[in-house]
Structure 1
Amino acid sequence: MRSMSARDAKNFFGKLIDVARAEPVAIEKHGRTVVVVLSIESYDLLKTGEGACPPVDSARARTAERLTQRSAMTKRAGGADEHK
């Protein structure tokens, strides 16, 4: 999945739509994914439950997202944990 900042999504909205028609695009704000833009076909598949994977409960999805972000921050920091 591609990603782009909220600022780029606003400034290059036409490009966002073009890319999202081919694959989902994660929109990030302050380095954190806040929404995903996807084609109407992908949305319809998710809505009807015909996607490639079963629905995931939102709490489990948020936990997975936090772990993914933490892992990415650790890699960028050269292996040291980053605390806020």
Structure 2
Amino acid sequence: MHSFTASEAKIQFGEVISKALREPVCITKNGRPKVVVMSYEDFNAIEKLKLNNLKIVLANSIAQAENGQLHDIDDVFSDLTTDELNQAEGQG
């Protein structure tokens, strides 16, 4: 993954976009990674994977409930991140 400092990214924004169309680009600030710039297609692919993962978790939970294997809601969603849970609420 190519990396730019925040200052470099400001000055070379066109180059950042050009590289991000081919692969994700890391933007650093104070020597630490802060954001990743990627193509819209890559972003959508990642979002679809996250949504599919949520659907699989829910389908498995429903199947277990139908078989009498009930679980606490916190256990069902424990593997999901806060962002994934928030996104699922927005998709609903």
With normalisation by structure 1, the TM-score equals 0.59
Q: How many residue pairs get matched?
A: 56
Which digits, 9 at most, give the CA deviation of each residue in 1:30-83, with x for residues without a partner? 000000000001001001007xxx7x966xxxxxxxxxxxxxxxxxxxxxxxxx
Provide the rounded CA distance (Å) in 2 between the counterparts of 1:29 and 1:21: 22
Provide the rounded CA distance (Å) in 2 between the counterparts of 1:4 and 1:12: 9
The equivalent residue for 2:9 is 9
- Where in structure 2 are there 5+ consecutive unaligned residues? 54-78, 82-92
Whichever structure has more helix as a proportion of its residues is: 2
Which digits, 9 at most, give the CA deviation of each residue in 1:6-40, with x for residues without a partner? 00000000000000000000000000000000000
The secondary structure found in structure 2 opposite 1:22 is: coil
Judged with a 3 Å threshold, the aligned counterparts in structure 2 of structure 1 residues 4 and 57 are, in CA distance, closer, same or farther, namely farther
Written as runs of structure 1 = structure 2, the 5 A alignment for 1:43-82 is 43-49=43-49
Identity value in percent: 39
Provide the rounded CA distance (Å) in 1 between the counterparts of 2:80 and 2:9: 27
- Where in structure 1 are there 5+ consecutive unaligned residues? 59-84
With normalisation by structure 2, the TM-score equals 0.54
Q: How much is the aligned-residue C-alpha RMSD, in angstroms?
A: 2.5
The secondary structure found in structure 1 opposite 2:17 is: helix
The secondary structure found in structure 2 opposite 1:34 is: strand
State which structure, 1 or 2, has the greater radius of gyration over its C-alpha atoms: 2
